[in-house]
Amino acid sequence: MDEGARPIGLRRIIQMNDVWATYGSGHALRGVSASIESGSNYAIVGRSGSGKSTLLRLMNGMLAPERGAVRVGYDVPDARGRRFRRTLRTIGYIPQNLGLVKNTTVLRNVLLGALPRLGAVQSALGRFPEGEVAEAERVLASVGLGGMGHRKAHALSGGERRRVAIARALMQHPTILLADEIVSELDPGTAREIMGLVSEAQRRTGLTAVMVHHDVSLALEYASRVAVISEGKKVLEIGVDGDSITDFQTGSQSTREAVEAYSRDA
């Protein structure tokens, strides 16, 4: 395991300070600050187009802030920068479209998670060491896809594809998991099973999970903090402890209805 890349001992593993972001016209984010505790499950909810995916893209350095500061571990995210590449290896990112290679087998998709830690030669040859293959098979079994490694990714159900994406991320031995709506449009039972896999990985490895959710109930059920984004601003950040929801920004008790009102699509 690539222990050297792990930002050990940092309590706040991700920090954002008054971050503004743009894709060219208008602002996708307008002054968001956030502080994410190591090992926690941090949820982001909000209407379509509010800026949720943009927040994740800032955390893995795919997008640079127009203004303000982002810090992950001890680094400033920059996906193209040499310095951040070591940190990036330990960030498991699951994009909204999952990013699977559809015409490739499930096993190979999972093995792609190991690529960042393999040498350039091995990567170019596309051959994986036996140990990695064995691990990929173990990870597949742990997400309930044992024996399905030979299937092509395009021939899977929505729930199965999400399991493959999680398996690929776990294969990376991540310190941080950034997951963009990976449980949306699933039946509640399957969504909970997928969330269970993430929780299990968190217990086992101390992983920090930052997850964008469409469903506020799932966010409240699994996260210890829920940030509500509206029109590029963080309008609410609540701490969740059992049934008690506290508005972290004002210290007052907040209601589930308030969270839901902000995140319901107009």
- Which position has the token pair 């064995």? 134
Q: How far is the CB of 225 from ligand ATP (least distance, A)?
A: 18
| 11 close to 37: Cβ distance less than 8 angstroms | yes
Please give the order of strands across the beta sheet that includes 244-247: 91-94, 176-180, 208-212, 41-46, 225-230, 233-241, 244-247
Nearer to ligand ATP by C-beta: 28 or 195? 28
Per CB under 6 A, which region of 46-54, 73-81, 83-91, 216-224 contacts ligand ATP? Answer: 46-54
Based on the shown chain and the rule CB under 6 A, indicate whether residue 46 belongs to the binding site for ligand ATP. Answer: yes
Based on the shown chain and the rule CB under 6 A, indicate whether residue 54 belongs to the binding site for ligand ATP. Answer: yes
Instruction: Print the binding letters for residues 83-102 with ligand ATP: x by CB under 6 A, - otherwise.
Output: -------------x------
Residue choice 52, 71, 163, 168 for contact with ligand ATP (CB under 6 A)? 52
How many residues sit in the footprint of ligand ATP (CB under 6 A)? Answer: 11
210 Cβ contact partners less than 8 Å away, ≥ 6 residues apart: 14, 36, 42, 44, 56, 59, 176, 177, 178, 179
Per CB under 6 A, which region of 51-59, 97-105, 185-193, 217-225 contacts ligand ATP? Answer: 51-59
Q: How far is the CB of 49 from ligand ATP (least distance, A)?
A: 4
Neighbours of 240 (CB within 10 A): 21
Residue choice 2, 18, 23, 244 for contact with ligand ATP (CB under 6 A)? 23
What stretches of the chain show up as alpha helix (H) in DSSP?
Answer: 52-59, 82-88, 106-111, 120-125, 130-142, 158-171, 188-205, 216-222, 256-263
- Residues at the site binding ligand ATP, with contacts judged by CB under 6 A: 23, 28, 46, 48-54, 96
